[in-house]
Amino acid sequence: MIRFDHVWKRYPNGREAVCDLTLEIGKGEMAFLTGHSGAGKSTLLKLIALIERPSRGTVVVNGQNTATVPRSKIPAFRRQIGIVFQDHKLLMDRPVYDNVGLPLVIAGVPEKEIGKRVRASLDQVGLLGREQNRPIELSTGEQQRVGIARAIIGKPALLIADEPTGNLDPDLAIEIMNIFRRFNEVGVTVVIASHDVHLIDRYRVRRVILEGGRVASGADAMPDLPKLVADRP
């Protein structure tokens, strides 16, 4: 699903966020990206979502070499990926319904179907019935779930999340992680960047540890392990 081949990323200010990184994440896999801040977790996700382009090396997402995606095709490329952000990135002045339905509006899906899928999506994150609330009226955890509902409404094969639990207390964090797990169970590839070691320890999932822009451990998949063996809280 995702393949990094000797990828380098140097920012204009000279900082090298990713150096010679090679990594493969298979279809249907779930992986945590961990490491100290500045280790390259966010950059890696940005390279996947084409928010950044690599300075050297190739990134292949869903069978598509990102170098061959022209600027004009980036929107279409992003629509096949669900992205969850630490700060949710919701439209605060629009109701939950508009926020979750936005990717479908962009894709030109008919209004009637949008309504159905928004409700289905909210149902999956346990927020059915909150369509008309504004994000501001929801708790942080609920806002994050709205963000997840928006990320999955397009039924992406790949879901990436950058510190999705960064602002949450432990109970809420587990709740959010469990939602991601459920999507992985139905075949969605999930990549989560997180530095919350205690939280990650609860899940027996592949762990890619980054250090100084390189993979320190976990470069290989662990097919021998059962995909998900987590202690329920």
Partner 1 sequence: MKQWLERHIQTLVGSLGRLWKQPFATLLTVLVIGIALALPACLHVLVQNVRAASGDWGNALDISVYMKPAATLEQARQAEKRIAQRRDVDGVTLVKADDALAEFRKNSGFGEALEALKENPLPHALVVRPAEEFRDPAQVETLTAELRKVEGVDLVQLDTAWVSRFNAILDVVRRVVLLAAGLFALGILVIVGNTIRLDIENRRGEIEVTKLVGGSDAFVRRPFLYNGVWYGLSGGITAGIIVAIVVAVLSDPVQRIAGLYGSQFQLQGVGLVGWLALLLGGALLGWLGSFIVATRELREIEPK
Residues 6+ apart with CB under 8 A from 88: 135, 143, 144, 146, 147
Of the chain, the end-to-end C-alpha distance in Å amounts to 30
Residues at the site binding partner 1, with contacts judged by CB under 8 A:
49, 51, 72, 75-79, 83, 85, 89-91, 102-103, 105-108, 110-111, 150-151, 154
Q: Which residue has the tokens 């100084």?
A: 212
Q: How far is the CB of 115 from partner 1 (least distance, A)?
A: 13
Q: Which is nearer to partner 1, 29 or 98 (CB)?
A: 98
Token reading at 91: 């439209």
Q: Which is nearer to partner 1, 59 or 102 (CB)?
A: 102
How far apart are alpha carbons 126 and 123 in whole angstroms? 5
How far apart are alpha carbons 212 and 18 in whole angstroms? 7
Q: How far is the CB of 89 from partner 1 (least distance, A)?
A: 5
Q: How far is the CB of 177 from partner 1 (least distance, A)?
A: 22
Q: Which is nearer to partner 1, 143 or 208 (CB)?
A: 143
Q: How far is the CB of 109 from partner 1 (least distance, A)?
A: 8
Q: Which is nearer to partner 1, 35 or 154 (CB)?
A: 154
Please answer whether residues 76 and 61 qualify as being in contact, where contact means their C-beta atoms are separated by less than 8 angstroms: no
